[in-house]
């Protein structure tokens, strides 16, 4: 069923907006997948959002370093 979509953006010339406007999935997918491969984003990599908090900056930094060290040891090969 036809419809109308209103998109509010600061970047009307962004490739994703232009591709959506013109229903050009092929050009969007080609550019997006190239970007995702370059950035090691899914499906070419994995992402995690980690929040470390502490009243003391040093404690938060130390916890983050410890977490990073543990994750590096578990990094997938390939």
Shared domain check, 56 and 75: yes
Give the structural domain span for 21.
Answer: 8-47
- Taking the whole predicted model, whether its pTM rises above 0.75 is answered as no
Give the pLDDT confidence score for residue 36 in this predicted structure. Answer: 96
Paired tokens of 24: 């050009």
Mean pLDDT of 9-36: 96
**Whether the predicted pLDDT of 74 surpasses 80:** no
Residue with tokens 């209103």: 6
**Into how many domains does the chain fold?**
2
Give the pLDDT confidence score for residue 20 in this predicted structure. Answer: 94
Give the pLDDT confidence score for residue 31 in this predicted structure. Answer: 97
Shared domain check, 12 and 39: yes
**Are the C-beta atoms of residues 41 and 47 closer than 8 Å to each other?**
yes
Whether 3 maps to a domain, the answer reads: no
Whether 24 maps to a domain, the answer reads: yes
3-class DSSP state for residue 27?
helix
Name the pLDDT band for 75 (thresholds 50, 70, 90): low
Please give the share of the chain, as a percent, with pLDDT higher than 90: 68
């Amino acid at each position: 069923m036809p419809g109308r979509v209103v998109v509010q953006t600061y970047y009307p010339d962004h490739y994703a907006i232009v591709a959506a406007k013109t229903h050009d999935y092929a050009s969007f997918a080609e550019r997006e997948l190239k970007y995702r491969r370059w950035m090691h984003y899914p499906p070419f990599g994995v992402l995690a959002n980690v929040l470390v908090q502490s009243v003391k900056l040093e404690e938060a930094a130390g916890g983050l370093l410890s977490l990073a060290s543990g994750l590096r040891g578990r990094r997938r090969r390939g």
